[in-house]
Structure 1
Amino acid sequence: MKEQIHYVTDAHGNIVAVQIPFALWERLKGALPAEAPAARATEAAVPEPMEGFADFLRYWDFRYPYDPAVSCPHCGAHVADWRTAPGHPFQLANANLGGLLVFHCKSCGATIRQKHFRDHVALESTPRS
């Protein structure tokens, strides 16, 4: 059976997935939690687009100051500043000059979008699917 297990690695040799025979999966899947902890660890390992966020701030010229607070309407998580909050409960997934900031809530997996317009911020969210 050992020769049927294949490890998928990234360019740096880090294991990103393990391929196992279907028969072994059938025996194991009932013993695993609905969401394996390894799945969350992998999500956190994705680097945040801080260069895009730096550009966003560099060209900020809106009529209101930038507010780094992020809230999740699905689980109630809230931080005053996502950049310095203990445990980093929100991960920046996208930032662009058009004013869009996208965060993932580490607590419940929801996606929070902050759409910055010239005179206001529109907030949208989607629960984890």
Structure 2
Amino acid sequence: MNIENPYLALYDASGALKGVLVSPEMWTALEPHALKILGETETEPELPEPMADLETLLSFWDFKYPYSAEARCETCGAATTDWRADEPRKFRLATATLAGMVTLTCSHCKTRIIHRHFKDRVTVETKPYCEQKDPKLNAVYGDKRQYFT
């Protein structure tokens, strides 16, 4: 890349175009147009809820208390007495494990509501949705945390 040619086309070994690198100056001019085009892309359909996993958990339920389908989002305040029966759904099932963990996602604000069922009690944890992960929390290889900042 140079001033006369503010972009660099990238090709693979077979000659197929793989991408383009642009100079910072060119990106400044292209960014609004590129973001407009990228914003028009279709969103991926939601994955089906793992209801079979929840049914497995409930079929083996041996806790000292009955299962409660009550859910509440501490972030936006959405609440329901039975998240499975709501139409439209306020909460979607993200995971359910035989170990007793049921994770719901708030349909309004994408907050994760984690129900951990123990033999004698339930703990509820709320994790607000985060667009980007913390750049300080990267992969751990062995005992060494990798920081890419």
Aligned length: 105
Would you say 1:51 and 2:52 are equivalent positions? yes
Alpha-carbon separation, structure 1, partners of 2:84 and 2:41: 24
TM-superposition CA deviations, 1:32-61 (whole Å, max 9, x none): 87xx8954xx36x21011111010000001
Q: Is residue 27 of structure 1 aligned with residue 28 of structure 2?
A: no
Work out which structure has the larger RCO, using CA pairs closer than 8 Å and 6 or more positions apart in sequence: 1
Correspondence list, 1:2-41, <5 A: 26-29=32-35, 39=43
1:58-97 per-residue CA deviation (whole Å, 9 max, x = no partner) reads 0001111110011100000001111111211111000011
Q: 1:61 to 1:106 in 2, by over 3 A?
A: same
- Match of residue 68 from structure 1: 69
Q: Which has the larger Rg? A: 2
TM value normalised by structure 2:
0.61
Q: Identical aligned pairs, as a percentage?
A: 34
User: Following the alignment from structure 2 to structure 1, what is the Cα–Cα distance between the partners of residues 67 and 83?
Assistant: 12
Query: Once superposed, which parts of structure 1, at least 4 consecutive aligned residues long, lie more than 3 Å away?
Result: 21-26, 30-33, 36-39
Residues 84-128 of structure 1 show CA distances to partners (whole Å, capped at 9, x for unaligned) of 112111110000110000011010110010000001100001101
What residue ranges of structure 1 are gaps of 5+ in the alignment?
1-20
Counterpart in the other structure of 1:79: 80
3-state SS of paired residue (2:84): coil
Give unpaired runs (5+ residues) of structure 2: 1-19, 131-149
Amino acid at match of 1:114: H
Once the 2 structures are TM-superposed, how far is the Cα of residue 29 of structure 1 from its aligned partner?
1.8
Bigger helix share: 1
CA RMSD of aligned residues (A): 2.7
Q: Who is 2:137 aligned against?
A: none
